[in-house]
């Protein structure tokens, strides 16, 4: 970092990625800021700057780098983090240290002190002790734990649609299963795919993935499941909407001879969108009827599937699709997992938060096995058809895709 870069940082307040500190800060307090950055998206601690006035006061320690690396990182932080340490000389003769911390791949990170380990996370410009849900999301982000296979209390084999699963199983694995199969045998079969799991009390219950894929009424136990579609008149959100509809069917669907015999969640949403975003016309031959979409049908389907499969199911909110006169917004709960970024998505990289849902969505014919849907099907297809580039937005709470209509 150069001095001019430092001045630009100082012209703005502290935020998700920047923290100012004097170098007389206690080591455990500095460790807290570092751990919080590592548990979020990374960040920088600027040492030698007053965090209240943002005045450059300079470093007062003779061996600041040694103190940071040995005392702070080695004694107070677990697991180990390797930072980038730089020092900048100012025209006034001061030295300022910049500690750059990348997002960690071994989350959750903690401050160790007095035989205790405390986990912190960055919320805006503040580092706070992480709550249970935040710690769960950290473990999920780095693949230590997949929330999709968590047991859902109060459920049983009766809450899964036997026909839906058996038809899926026969088509996917080319094995016959009788509809008269005993519940105990069906439980064993479902358990082999983590669609049913054992509860803390030794009972077989549905997993989150099991309900989402094949549940009779998933939203009864998982209110966050499904998609809410809102249609607004004009280009802004208003108190009154043209329509507001919830879709809560399971993802599972039944295809026979390439014909859709029973619709799943994606199919229901697409049918609703066809009424809003397409119209049927007679072809030039005067016989064939064709459907013209305002936004390409395949693009819409791809974004919807991704929003369902890759969302964060630890969050209680429901996914939403918002229709405006000039655009469509797809909002999926949860930020991107682990080190995945918007730039990496555009480059075709992937990091599935819910690998079990991904696998079954592929078997159901809803996703490609290559995992390049956003890049190939959405971004490139829209560009080739003359649409504006879709906007991808990430916050702490959600991931959003905005597709603008042609002018």
Structure tokens at 243: 């329509």
| pLDDT tens figures, 130-183 | 998 888 888 777 766 788 998 998 899 999 999 999 999 999 988 888 989 999
Please state whether the predicted TM-score (pTM) of the whole model is above 0.85: no
Q: What is the per-residue DSSP string for 145-161?
A: --GGG-B-TT--GGGB-
Within 10 A of 292 (CB to CB), how many other CB atoms are there?
10
* Calpha distance 386→407 (Å, rounded): 10
Q: For the residues 8-18, what does the mean pLDDT come to?
A: 90
Q: pLDDT tens, 356-389?
A: 999 999 999 998 766 667 888 899 999 999 999 9
> How confident is the model at residue 336, as a pLDDT?
87
What integer pLDDT is reported at residue 289 of this predicted model? 82
Contact indicator for 282, 289 with CB cutoff of 8 Å: yes
Percent of the chain scoring above 70 in pLDDT: 99
pLDDT at 140: 75
Q: What pLDDT, on the 0 to 100 scale, is given for residue 371?
A: 60
pLDDT per residue over 98-109, tens digit each?
999 988 878 899
- Sorted by sequence, the CB contacts under 8 Å of residue 86 that are 6+ apart come out as 1, 97, 98, 100
Query: Where does 86-207 have alpha helices with state H?
Result: 132-141, 162-173, 183-191
Q: Would you say residue 200 has pLDDT above 80?
A: no
Whether the per-residue pLDDT at 338 is higher than 90: the answer is: no
Domains and CATH numbers, the chain: 3-130 (3.30.950.30), 149-218 (no CATH), 221-404 (3.30.565.60)
Longest dimension (CA), the chain: 86
Contact 164, 364 (CB under 8 A): no
pLDDT value, residue 314: 86
Instruction: Quote the mean pLDDT of the chain.
Output: 91
């Amino acid at each position: 970092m150069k001095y001019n870069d430092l001045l630009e940082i100082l012209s703005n307040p502290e935020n998700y990625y920047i923290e100012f500190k004097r170098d007389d800060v206690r080591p455990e307090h500095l460790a807290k800021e570092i751990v919080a950055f590592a548990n979020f998206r990374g960040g920088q601690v600027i040492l030698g700057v007053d965090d209240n006035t943002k005045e450059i006061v300079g470093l007062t320690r003779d061996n600041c780098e040694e103190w940071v690396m040995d005392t702070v990182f080695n004694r107070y932080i677990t697991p180990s983090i390797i930072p980038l340490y730089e020092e900048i000389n100012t025209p006034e003769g001061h030295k300022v240290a910049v500690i750059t911390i990348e997002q960690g791949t071994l989350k959750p990170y903690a401050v160790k002190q007095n035989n205790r380990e405390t986990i912190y996370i960055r919320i805006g410009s503040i580092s706070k002790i992480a709550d249970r849900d935040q710690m769960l999301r950290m473990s999920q982000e780095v693949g230590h734990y997949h929330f999709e296979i968590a047991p859902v209390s109060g459920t049983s084999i009766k809450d899964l649609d036997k026909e839906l699963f058996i038809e899926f199983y026969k088509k996917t694995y080319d094995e016959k299963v009788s509809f008269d199969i005993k519940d105990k045998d069906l439980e064993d079969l479902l358990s082999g795919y983590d669609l049913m799991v054992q509860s803390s009390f030794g009972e077989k219950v549905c997993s989150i993935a099991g309900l989402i894929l094949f549940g009779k009424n998933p939203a009864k136990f998982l209110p966050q499941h499904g998609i809410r579609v809102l249609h607004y008149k004009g280009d802004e959100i208003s108190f009154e909407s043209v329509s507001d509809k919830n879709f809560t069917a399971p993802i599972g669907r039944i295809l026979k001879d390439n014909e859709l015999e029973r619709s799943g969640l994606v199919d229901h949403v697409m049918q609703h969108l066809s009424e809003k975003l397409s119209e049927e016309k007679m072809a030039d031959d005067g016989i064939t009827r064709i459907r013209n979409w305002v936004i390409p049908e395949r693009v819409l389907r791809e974004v919807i599937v991704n929003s369902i499969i890759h969302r964060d199911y630890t969050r209680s909110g429901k996914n939403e699709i918002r229709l405006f006169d000039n655009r469509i917004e797809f909002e999926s709960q949860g930020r991107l997992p682990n080190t995945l970024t918007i730039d990496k998505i555009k480059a075709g990289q992937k990091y599935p938060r819910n690998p079990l849902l991904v696998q079954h969505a592929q078997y159901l014919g809803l996703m490609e096995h290559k995992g390049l849907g956003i890049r190939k099907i959405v971004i490139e297809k829209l560009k080739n058809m003359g649409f504006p580039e879709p906007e991808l937005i990430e916050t702490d709470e959600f991931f959003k895709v905005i597709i603008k209509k042609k002018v």
